[in-house]
């Protein structure tokens, strides 16, 4: 059986008696792209730095393809871990050309041998920067600098690529293009990668799996569609996507009573269980999808045209909801209308007091 590309077991890290990483365990397959997401200060960058060898954990174990790089008895230096690292703003050597920056990733900064020169050329082609080889960093855009940083990280053929919010300093349009190109380059090169990000939409779109972190712990790790549709708890559900949450009580017929009325949940917990409903905006529609869809009365607050949709804010009982619709219903502010819940709401039972 092939060893996983990355295996982390019970990793902990404390700074001045403050737990930054608490018993982190993760597994990453060959060629898999994992996004670690969470709010600022959750520990995601510290996790990446522990993997790279820039920070030393207090306990736990890290292995790459079965090769231990950190444990109670092992702590390989950065240069021996065979990892590539790309940070937010590239951090290129200002006095070196693009070619020499990439050559530096090979360990000598020269690119002397024919094999090394070919590797550099291949990485520039892969990342779309061949025509920039003789330029210096100050002559490059932010996106071009990130391409160079990725080419440099890939040049020595590392076993794993670590990327710490590599797109966050770019403007939205450039970020989208660079992100797609970099993900494509990683996949074309067959590399496993760990991205740190605070952008949940980015993670949902590009990750093979997502790990959600909070206060040094991993709340859940799953494929994007599973994480969005079957979150382990309300906290994860609200972090990974928008939604309205409201108290509810389960009924025996697969529904729950809430301030919006009786809504379908499909939960198998006992009738009378108290908890919280979560409904995603896309679960609502202005057209009845089927005869079983729950019907709700709503008041239109306003409708705002956007680039690709119309954003409609409405009120259901005391709940304010924002919906995006591709068409513009003939509604003015204050209009009474009907909307429909086209799928089952998520239900999270109350947690017992500690």
Q: What is the CATH number of the domain that holds 329?
A: 2.40.50.470
User: What are the residues facing 28 on neighbouring strands?
Assistant: 6
Give the end of a domain, one of 186, 207, 238.
238
Is residue 354 scored above 60 in pLDDT?
A: no
**314-334 residue pLDDT tens:** 888 888 888 888 766 667 788
Say if residue 217 is in the same domain as residue 335.
no
354, part of any domain: no
| Residue among 124, 127, 110, 136 at smallest CA distance from 166 | 127
Mean pLDDT of the chain: 89
Q: pLDDT at position 352, please?
A: 63
Give the end of a domain, one of 184, 216, 238.
238
pTM for the whole structure: 0.87
Give the end of a domain, one of 183, 204, 238.
238
Is residue 42 scored above 90 in pLDDT?
A: yes
Q: pLDDT at position 316, please?
A: 86
d(CA 116, CA 189): 17
For residue 183, what is the domain's CATH number? Answer: 3.40.50.300
**122-175 residue pLDDT tens:** 999 988 899 999 999 999 988 889 889 888 988 888 999 999 988 877 777 778
The model's confidence at residue 204, banded by pLDDT at 50, 70 and 90, is: very high
Q: pLDDT at position 311, please?
A: 86
Domain containing residue 330: 244-349
């Amino acid at each position: 059986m092939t060893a996983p590309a990355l295996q982390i077991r019970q990793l902990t890290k404390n700074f001045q008696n403050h737990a930054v990483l608490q018993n982190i365990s993760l597994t990453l397959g060959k060629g898999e792209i994992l996004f670690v997401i969470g709010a600022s200060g959750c520990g995601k960058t510290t996790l990446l730095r522990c993997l790279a060898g820039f920070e030393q954990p207090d306990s736990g174990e890290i292995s790459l393809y079965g090769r231990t790089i950190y444990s109670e008895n092992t702590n390989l230096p950065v240069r021996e871990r065979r990892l590539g690292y790309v940070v937010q703003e590239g951090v290129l050597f200002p006095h070196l050309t693009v070619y020499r920056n990439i050559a530096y990733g090979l360990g000598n900064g020269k690119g002397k041998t024919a094999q090394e020169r070919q590797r550099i050329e291949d990485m520039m082609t892969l990342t779309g920067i061949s025509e920039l080889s003789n330029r210096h960093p100050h002559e490059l855009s932010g996106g071009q600098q990130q391409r160079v940083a990725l080419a440099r990280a890939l040049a020595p053929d590392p076993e794993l690529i670590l990327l710490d919010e590599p797109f966050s300093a770019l403007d939205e349009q450039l970020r989208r293009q660079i992100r797609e190109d970099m993900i494509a380059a990683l996949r074309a090169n067959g590399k496993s990668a760990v991205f740190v990000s605070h952008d949940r939409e980015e993670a949902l779109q590009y990750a093979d799996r997502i790990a959600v972190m909070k206060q040094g712990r991993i709340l859940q790790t799953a494929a994007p569609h599973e994480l969005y549709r079957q979150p382990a708890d309300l906290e994860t559900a609200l972090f990974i996507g928008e939604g309205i949450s409201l108290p509810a009580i389960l009924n025996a017929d697969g529904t729950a009573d809430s301030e919006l009325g009786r809504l379908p949940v499909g939960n198998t917990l006992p009738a009378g269980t108290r908890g919280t409903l979560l409904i995603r905006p896309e679960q609502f529609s202005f057209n009845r999808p089927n005869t079983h869809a729950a019907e709700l009365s709503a008041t239109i607050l306003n409708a705002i045209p956007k680039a690709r949709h119309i954003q409609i804010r409405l009120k259901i009982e005391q709940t304010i909801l924002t919906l995006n619709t591709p068409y513009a219903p003939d509604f003015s502010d204050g209009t009474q209308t009907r909307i429909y819940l086209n799928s089952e709401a998520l239900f999270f039972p109350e947690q017992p007091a500690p």
